[in-house]
Structure 1
Amino acid sequence: MQPLVVSALLASLWTLCTGAGDWCYQSQFSCDHQCNAPEKWDHANSVCGESFQSPINVVTRKTLKDERLTPFKFDNYQQIFRGTIKNNGHSVQVGVPHVSTVSGGGLPDMYKAVQFHLHWGNNGGPGSEHTIDGEQYPMELHIVHMKHHYIDLTTALSDPEGVAVLGFFYERSKSANRKYDPIITALRSIKNTNGSTSLPSVSLAQLIPAEQNLTSYYRYKGSLTTPGCTEAVVWTLFENPIPLSMDQLKAFSELKFPDGKPMVGTFRPVQPLNGRQVFRSGGALILASATLLMVAMATALGLSQPN
């Protein structure tokens, strides 16, 4: 009888620790904090278990060059605004209070910016949502846009191409990126969940690489990376990363989740591609594997030898 009792006890503990209630990141899950971690997000919202989810790992050698992926046209990205920055319990989010639009770049329409938010790891460790050839960057910026004629994001999400998200990776640098000072400074005032403060004057353009460095990117169809995981997003992932110092990256890990624990590991693991094609612009690089390079070299040597 004793083995049966032990088995029943273990089963009850497993049930207790497998998640319940609202969604959370893996870093938040514990037996003391029952929540639906990423592998259980479909329990919080069934759409999270569908086929065309984000983020993904981009395998560059499997991407397909698309001549329609031309340079973007950014309008009013240089315009200074004073938005509100908020700790919403799972990220830092800033509303964009004026009309900044993006078009071109193979997008099916003109899209206007609604908000931007970030995803990060633990004290500057791996934390991007998307990965490139398996590499996870320290942090990722998402500038969320909707088709220009929609008046709210909920309506836009009912359109299969209603939302366009521009994704940018961050890399560690030896020196601080002074263009990010307004955001890094504001983080000190919003450490607790639902904390918000007025963001000093900032522009979208100052947060991302110069426009001439935004011609190399990847494109695919996917979803929101948090529940409800709606599959209505045209994704663009830019190749050139944004530099931040280690201290700047660590500042995000000083924020707190609703339970007071450090807000770290705020990324969803990569999802299956399920037959989707990832496209690349003309400037995007393909990182060939070492095996492919050796085969290519051997082939070249073989061709150069006389018969």
Structure 2
Amino acid sequence: MQLPEATPNATTQQARHWCYQSQVTCGGNCIGPDGWATVAGACGRRTQSPINIVTRRTLPDRRLTPFTFTGYQEAFHSFITNKGRTVQVDLPATAKVQGGDLAMPYKAVQLHLHLGKDGGLGSEHTIDGERYPMELHIVNIKEEYNSLADALKDPAGVGVLGFFYEQSGSSNKKYDSIINALNTINKPSSNTTLSGVSLDMFIPSQCNMTSYFRYQGSLTTPPCAEAVVWTIFENTIPLSRQQLAAFSQLQFADGKPMVGTYRPNQPLNGRQVYRSGNQVVLVSTLLLITSGTRE
């Protein structure tokens, strides 16, 4: 999960120098994930994200009921921006999520993506060791807070909905507006308008969002604040190979291709990962193919 650049935090000046492993070069001056704790001390703490979710070690929790989404069907106009480390869309605060054992309604702030290269592996979280091509994060805060910075002071102030992408044999027409916008925001700090889109367009249908994992963690970039209630949905979002590859035209602030934008998995350190009560644990497709098992 990306934190907005304008963060009233003592690490803001330093945070400009952190980078992903895909940007690290010999003699370079940016600090890759292994050194992020020197940029922000919280990055070295014990409840960090992302993680590898081992499905057989998850526990069912019947409190993890289906969510209620408010305002997800409503069309909105917003900017899609190349932030230099991710592509981000600001969201209307009228879009809210509640239920699923969240303490209260959480209102949307922004969504952003973590990317592979030309449709290659790029998700932050992994399932049974399997990494997906991309991962979407919808960042929400408790409705009582006025900003993400305020919410980060609360150990459960931020609620992130995470979705994996998977390659499909056909294009996902609902993503045409975003794919078309990439042509005009390939350079850092560039943006363009997204018109007449809704959050429902970018995620699975609500009837396919009852199976998910839950754990307590952190932002996945500096300052790595440990204030995030993570919800990782099992059902994936389909994009064609061409659509996935289109994101590789984006550039980092240093001019390099914006690829490999994920932090390596972090230790669980005793944390328990829960799964929604009606979920059946699935072995990853990769393992099924390897073992020759048939469903």
Q: Which residue of 2 aligns with 1:242?
A: 237
Q: Which residue of 2 aligns with 1:195?
A: 190
Q: How does 1:244-263 map to 2 (within 5 A)?
A: 244-263=239-258
Q: How does 1:24-103 map to 2 (within 5 A)?
A: 24-103=19-98
- SS of the residue 1:199 aligns to: strand
- SS of the residue 1:149 aligns to: coil
Structure 2's unaligned 5+ residue stretches are: 1-14
**Letter matched to residue 62 of structure 1:** R
* Aligned-residue offset at 1:22: 1.0
- Contact 2:63 / 2:277 at 8 angstroms: preserved in 1? no
* Aligned-residue offset at 1:282: 2.2
Is 1:159 matched with 2:176? no
Structure 1's unaligned 5+ residue stretches are: 1-19, 295-307
* Aligned-residue offset at 1:283: 3.2
How many residues get paired? 272
**Letter matched to residue 158 of structure 2:** V
**Letter matched to residue 178 of structure 1:** K
Q: Which residue of 1 aligns with 2:115?
A: 120
- Contact 1:81 / 1:98 at 8 angstroms: preserved in 2? no
Is 1:220 matched with 2:215? yes
- SS of the residue 2:249 aligns to: coil
Is 1:205 matched with 2:200? yes
* Aligned-residue offset at 1:273: 0.3
Structure 1 stretches of 4+ moved >2 Å: 282-285, 287-290
- SS of the residue 1:251 aligns to: helix
Report Cα offsets for 1:222-266 as digits up to 9, x if no partner: 001111000000000000000000111011111001121111001
* Aligned-residue offset at 1:288: 5.7
Q: Which residue of 2 aligns with 1:149?
A: 144
Percent of pairs with identical residues:
60
Structure with the greater alpha carbon radius of gyration? 1
With normalisation by structure 2, the TM-score equals: 0.90
User: Quick one: distance in 1 between partners of 2:25 and 2:16?
Assistant: 13
User: Quick one: distance in 2 between partners of 1:173 and 1:59?
Assistant: 25
User: Quick one: distance in 1 between partners of 2:172 and 2:16?
Assistant: 39
Q: Which residue of 2 aligns with 1:110?
A: 105
Q: How does 1:2-41 map to 2 (within 5 A)?
A: 22-41=17-36
1:230 to 225, 229, 250: 225
Is 1:284 matched with 2:265? no
Change (3 A) 1:181 1:101: same
User: Quick one: distance in 2 between partners of 1:159 and 1:34?
Assistant: 33
User: Quick one: distance in 1 between partners of 2:34 and 2:145?
Assistant: 32
RMSD over aligned Cα atoms: 1.6
* Aligned-residue offset at 1:106: 1.0
Higher strand share: 2
With normalisation by structure 1, the TM-score equals: 0.86
Greater displacement, 279-288 / 198-207: 279-288
Report Cα offsets for 1:202-232 as digits up to 9, x if no partner: 1001100010110000000000111100000
User: Quick one: distance in 1 between partners of 2:164 and 2:254?
Assistant: 28
Higher helix share: 1
Is 1:264 matched with 2:245? no
User: Quick one: distance in 1 between partners of 2:92 and 2:58?
Assistant: 36
Could you say which structure has the greater relative contact order, defined with CA pairs below 8 angstroms and 6 or more residues apart? 2
- Contact 1:93 / 1:118 at 8 angstroms: preserved in 2? yes
Report Cα offsets for 1:143-195 as digits up to 9, x if no partner: 00000111100000000100000000000001000000111111111101101
Greater displacement, 281-290 / 20-29: 281-290
